[in-house]
Amino acid sequence: MSIQAGLRRRFDGTYPVDEWGLDRDLVELMSPLVGLRWATDARGVEHLSADGPAVLVFNRRFGLSEPFVLARGVRLAADRPVRFVGAPDIAPVGPALRRFGAVLGSHAEVAGLLRAGHLVGIPLERAVRHRHKAGRLPVEALAAALDAAAPVVPVALVGREVTRRWVVAVGEPLSPSGQGPLAEVELAEAVRRAVQDLLDEALPAPRWPL
């Protein structure tokens, strides 16, 4: 898409916006600028199917870059948009973030996205002090995935806020083993462990663990 055609579509209103507010034209228009901030190297994207729903569980340190890195990495490598939860439902931040794929973290919103066959990124809890550690995953975070019987894919994001290069390592999908509270807990633990394994592969063990 040429910049001229993109701008023309914005003026005419003929650009596509989906029901959750994702504006693919804007994402493409901004892509060269965003590329100046984040350069992503995605590995293991063959684990993502060409269509159909999935929950991508990813680690985060401060949580500022990670959602955008995940969305950009998967979009460039697999040509699929990723919705990441955590948008505040307050203008102007919420609607602006929605244009780039952010959605609310509520069960109803995530369940709706999965029913419609989208990829949804759900972060682990922040691990600010330990870059090489995957945080916990709240048990209720995967309830929508279990309801929709959607595969859960671990993703490790390796990079630093102050540098540009990030690695997006996608692991093998885990399928829910059944329904019920125990299945949720087991799945949450399994996916956290899988993210940790991916991090261990991508990051050498620190010489002086903090």
Check binding of 89 to another protein (CB under 8 A): yes
Residue 49 in contact with residue 175, Cβ under 8 Å? no
Q: Distance between CA 142 and CA 88 in Å, rounded? A: 20
Helices (H) and strands (E) in the chain, counts: 7, 7
Check binding of 53 to another protein (CB under 8 A): no
Give me the least distance between CB of 101 and another protein, in Å please: 14
Check binding of 98 to another protein (CB under 8 A): yes
Residue closer to another protein by CB (options 145, 194) is: 145
Q: Distance between CA 171 and CA 177 in Å, rounded? A: 18
| Binding piece for another protein, criterion CB under 8 A, among 65-73, 106-114, 169-177, 198-206 | 106-114
Which one of residues 36, 108, 162, 210 is an interface residue with another protein (CB under 8 A)? 108
Check binding of 20 to another protein (CB under 8 A): yes
Residue closer to another protein by CB (options 69, 144) is: 144
Check binding of 81 to another protein (CB under 8 A): no
The DSSP letter of residue 39 is E
Residue 171 in contact with residue 197, Cβ under 8 Å? yes
Structure tokens belonging to residue 209:
């663990």
